[in-house]
Amino acid sequence: MSQKNIYGGLEGGGTKFACVVAYGPDEIIDETRFPTTTPEETIAKAITFFKRHAIAAIGLAPFGPLDLNPASPTYGHITATPKPGWTGANICEQFRRAFDIPIACELDVGAAAFGEYYWRPENRRLDSLVYFTIGTGIGAGIIANRRLVHGLVHPEAGHFRIPHDWTVDPYAGNCPFHGDCFEGLACGPAISQRWGQSADKLTDEHPAWELEAAYIASALTSVICILSPQRIVLGGGVMQRKQLFPAIRHKVQELLNGYIPSPVIMERMDEYIVPPGLGHRSGVLGAVALAKVLIE
Ligand code: ADP
Ligand code: ZN
């Protein structure tokens, strides 16, 4: 009788690394989290953790920007990150040297999109899904035709332009590259800087949330018009503010103004724009799923 495989999954964030060893979301065997320090120390810790288990494959999902082009000489490298010491870090290569098993490499938010798609039965029926994280930064993983979208590089859907009315919101945005792109206007640190108080400390009644919902709705409206995804999952620290969900759904409907002839958008918005089914584990369990599909 063949034994069931166990898989490793790693989500490498700018502030912490999360690692799991699991059969799947309901059968997690071991799990750890530790702060992101230097690449040497952090990657060594992760390798030591996975070495304790007889895993069949590993999925790695570090923060980006990440070179995911297998033909590139810098494949697997973290490219120009503002995170000190991490530009040029190559988690994938170091794992390949340490383990003689298949290794998948994907951007953290791509893995999160794949995790939500692969493990959640309500998503698995779909062909397309977009996962946004709205946290320290903004990024998206895009599933189209049941596959993660990669192109020139990976999608950078946190950095497109959205309308910015300077009379309503004189804040210039905090993106070091674009100022008032979507991330520059709507990520957690932008909310904190605009209002002079940490985003997680603002009251639920604060006007910050209406503006935040408007920016997110504006971005999602473009995404819906361009990609026509069958579901949009919104994760990340800022989306812990649950009141944003109904506000965003309502504003998306308002902005689309009846133009998209889908009953999901007309009548079932609460099934269309949703929180992550895997909670805070979308990324790490997505990495597990990417490992699993490598050897299936
Ligand atoms: P990261 O993006 O670094 O992986 P998170 O997704 O947890 O981390 O996002 C962190 C950001 O989310 C911070 O800017 C923080 O202020 C914001 N945040 C965390 N919790 C809340 C909350 N309850 N309400 C609003 N913003 C929050
Ligand atoms: Zn930007």
Question: What would the mean pLDDT of 201-211 be, rounded to a whole number?
Answer: 98
**Residues 198 and 268 grouped into a single domain:** yes
Q: How far is the CA of 235 from the centre of ligand 1 (A)?
A: 10
Q: How far is the CA of 6 from the centre of ligand 1 (A)?
A: 31
Q: Which of the pair, 118 or 82, is modelled with greater confidence?
A: 118
Structural domain contains residue 45: yes
Q: Which of 232, 239, 240 is nearest to 274 (CA)?
A: 232
Question: What would the mean pLDDT of 129-148 be, rounded to a whole number?
Answer: 97
Whether the per-residue pLDDT at 120 is higher than 80: the answer is yes
**Residues 270 and 284 grouped into a single domain:** no
Q: How far is the CA of 243 from the centre of ligand 1 (A)?
A: 15
**Residues 126 and 260 grouped into a single domain:** yes
Count: domains in the chain: 2
Structural domain contains residue 1: no
**Residues 236 and 268 grouped into a single domain:** yes
194 lines ligand 1 (CB under 6 A): no
pLDDT of residue 280: 94
**Residues 161 and 174 grouped into a single domain:** yes
Q: How far is the CA of 138 from the centre of ligand 2 (A)?
A: 9
Structural domain contains residue 103: yes
Peptide bond into 121 cis (omega under 30): no
Question: What would the mean pLDDT of 28-50 be, rounded to a whole number?
Answer: 97
13 lines ligand 1 (CB under 6 A): yes
Structural domain contains residue 191: yes
Task: Tell me which ligand sits closest to the C-alpha of residue 176.
Answer: 2
Structural domain contains residue 2: no
**Residues 135 and 87 grouped into a single domain:** no
Q: How confident is the model at residue 250 (pLDDT cuts 50, 70, 90)?
A: very high
Q: How far is the CA of 110 from the centre of ligand 2 (A)?
A: 18
Q: Which atom of ligand 1 is least distant from the CA of 133?
A: 6
Structural domain contains residue 116: no
**Residues 146 and 264 grouped into a single domain:** yes
Contact by Cβ (8 Å): 121, 87: no
Whether the per-residue pLDDT at 1 is higher than 50: the answer is no
Task: Tell me which ligand sits closest to the C-alpha of residue 178.
Answer: 2
Q: How far is the CA of 76 from the centre of ligand 2 (A)?
A: 22
Task: Tell me which ligand sits closest to the C-alpha of residue 179.
Answer: 2
Query: Is the dihedral angle over the CA atoms 279, 162, 246, 259 positive or is it negative?
Result: negative
Please give the share of the chain, as a percent, with pLDDT higher than 90.
91
pLDDT of residue 126: 98
Beta bridge partners of 72: none
193 lines ligand 1 (CB under 6 A): no
Domain span at residue 135? 122-275
**Residues 204 and 140 grouped into a single domain:** yes
Structural domain contains residue 287: yes
**Residues 266 and 165 grouped into a single domain:** yes
Calpha distance 178→111 (Å, rounded): 26
CATH of the domain at 57: 3.30.420.40
Task: Tell me which ligand sits closest to the C-alpha of residue 243.
Answer: 1
* pLDDT tens readout for residues 93-119: 999 999 999 999 999 999 999 999 999
Question: What would the mean pLDDT of 215-232 be, rounded to a whole number?
Answer: 98
Structural domain contains residue 154: yes
Q: How far is the CA of 186 from the centre of ligand 2 (A)?
A: 11
Which tokens go with 83? 């995170």
Considering the chain, what is the average pLDDT of its residues?
A: 96
**Residues 131 and 269 grouped into a single domain:** yes
**Residues 106 and 171 grouped into a single domain:** no
Q: Which atom of ligand 1 is least distant from the CA of 235?
A: 6
Beta bridge partners of 143: 129, 148
240 lines ligand 1 (CB under 6 A): yes
**Residues 92 and 171 grouped into a single domain:** no
DSSP the chain: -PPPP-EEEEEE-SSEEEEEEEEETTEEEEEEEEE---HHHHHHHHHHHHHTS--SEEEEEE-SSB---TTSTTTT-B-S-SSTT-TT--HHHHHHHH--S-EEE--HHHHHHHHHHHH-HHHHT-S-EEEEEESSSEEEEEEETTEE--SSSS--TTSSB----TTT------BTTTBSBHHHHHSHHHHHHHHTS-GGGS-TTSTHHHHHHHHHHHHHHHHHHHH--S-EEEESGGGG-TTHHHHHHHHHHHHHTT-S--HHHHH-HHHHEE--TTGGGHHHHHHHHHHHHHH-
Q: Which atom of ligand 1 is least distant from the CA of 134?
A: 6
Q: Which atom of ligand 1 is least distant from the CA of 187?
A: 14
